[in-house]
Amino acid sequence: MNEIIQNQDQELQRVIYQIPALITLYAISHRGEKHLDPKEEKSAAIYLTVICNQGPEKFKDFFKEVKKTFKKDLHELNEELPGETENRKAEIEKRLLPVKTFLKDLPETHEVPFKDALFGFATHTRSVVGDTLESVMLPFISDNLRKIEDERLHRIL
């Protein structure tokens, strides 16, 4: 996967490798906070390690590259992004727009599994970041609420 990414311009490459950090910050913003909890950061880093070791073979090189700068990217982006929740989420979505185009241009053999791997990361991050109401109570109240959340995550990817 890294060879495909290396064929992109420098700015797009940078954003592609920041996707997991941006997803993590988006999940935190959804909670209405800018604060990056060490537990959330550690959980995301552990999940990256799992993906590096057990994820789809064709994407392991990508996730290994992401892991090298994940914590640094997470902290830098956290400081760089707007503090107000809606502005922060809008800025993250704006930064991910070129990535959506990149993903659509990938061969189908890469696009769908890569999106699935990223969605898996987003789902994991959401479950760690989500509060008790979101992660425990909402699934019992309505399956539609979980579907709405999943659609929201798919929209940003």
User: What is the tens place of the pLDDT at every residue in 56-80?
Assistant: 788 888 889 999 999 999 999 999 9
Give the Cβ contact number of residue 113 at 10 Å. Answer: 17
Domain residue spans of the chain: 2-156
Give the per-residue pLDDT at 71.
Answer: 93
Give the per-residue pLDDT at 86.
Answer: 86
Give the per-residue pLDDT at 77.
Answer: 94
Give the per-residue pLDDT at 133.
Answer: 36
Give the per-residue pLDDT at 138.
Answer: 39
Q: pTM for this one?
A: 0.76
Tokens of 74: 């997470």
Give the per-residue pLDDT at 29.
Answer: 78
Give the per-residue pLDDT at 130.
Answer: 53
Q: Which residues of the chain have pLDDT under 50?
A: 131-145
Give the per-residue pLDDT at 43.
Answer: 81
